Amino acid sequence: MLRLRPAALVTLMRGAGGEGRLGDPPAVLLIPSLFPVRRCSTPPQPVIAAKQPFPVELKAGKKYGWCACGHSKNQPFCDGAHKKAAPGISPLRFTPEEDKVAWLCGCKRTRSPPYCDGTHKEEAVQSAQLPTQP
């Protein structure tokens, strides 16, 4: 075990940026060999199911589950494929307040899920390769 005298510890802390402003949290010196780096895996990303939205007739008060992962064979709705294909991505559950025809996102990149916001028109979506259907 490494033991440092208080003066040596203060010197190490100052060298590591330990001289902060009043009220700043104290600096912590991490020695890589003593603290292994944990690699965080990136969260699963949805796949592009379609390069255009799906027109869907929604019924007021009915509960729907919009596929957020892109793996469902029942697009734009969830069929549970995310459990194996994309654990960590869950469907978006929603209940419309009125009967209406809505355009539900097929590219899974919308900023207003489950509804299409036009993101599918971007080059990144239009140039993407769609997953092959078995």
User: What is the predicted pLDDT for the residue at 87?
Assistant: 92
Would you say residue 87 lies in a domain? yes
Would you say residue 111 lies in a domain? yes
Would you say residue 114 lies in a domain? yes
Structural domain boundaries, residue 75: 54-126
Would you say residue 63 lies in a domain? yes
Cβ neighbors of 26 (< 8 A, separation 6 or more) are: 13, 18, 20
Helix locations, 29-114, DSSP H? 82-85
The verdict on pTM exceeding 0.85 is no
Would you say residue 35 lies in a domain? no
Site of tokens 């020695």:
31
pLDDT (average), residues 21-25? 49
Task: Please count the structural domains in the chain.
Answer: 1
User: What is the predicted pLDDT for the residue at 71?
Assistant: 96
pLDDT (average), residues 9-30? 49
Cβ neighbors of 18 (< 8 A, separation 6 or more) are: 10, 12, 26, 27, 29
Confidence of residue 44 (pLDDT cuts 50, 70, 90): confident
Confidence of residue 21 (pLDDT cuts 50, 70, 90): very low
Would you say residue 122 lies in a domain? yes
Would you say residue 61 lies in a domain? yes
Would you say residue 24 lies in a domain? no
